[in-house]
Amino acid sequence: MLRTNMALLFFVVFCALGVVTSQHKGRKLFQALEAEQERAKQLDVEFGQLQLELSTWATHPRVEKIARERLRMRVPEAGRLLVASPREGGQ
């Protein structure tokens, strides 16, 4: 009887330690999940800011200004323009 009680006590202590260990691991994983979700939110905000910055840098007036000032490009005269139109029949 004593041997059975000791075996059951050992089994109960072993199970209790397993429960405590599982809860600890679960809490650690939950904390890691929350940290990664927060990082994802930060990256989403940063992505939105970069998209806004990209749209600002690529505006037509800005590109035209850079083409004129830095690259010294200009609009050709009307007489020098050739307009290509598609042929009938697709070729």
42 lies in some domain? yes
| Mean pLDDT calculated for residue range 25-41 | 98
SS3 83: coil
**Which domain covers residue 46, as residue numbers?**
2-71
60 lies in some domain? yes
36 lies in some domain? yes
The pLDDT value recorded for residue 90 is 59
Residue 6 has pLDDT above 90, yes or no: yes
Query: Rounded to two decimals, what is the model's pTM?
Result: 0.56
78 lies in some domain? no
The pLDDT value recorded for residue 89 is 66
The pLDDT value recorded for residue 30 is 98
Counting the structural domains of the chain, the total is: 1
Task: Round to whole Å and give the CA distance between 3 and 5.
Answer: 5
* Range from 22-26, 49-53, 86-90 carrying the lowest mean pLDDT: 86-90
48 lies in some domain? yes
| Mean pLDDT calculated for residue range 45-57 | 94
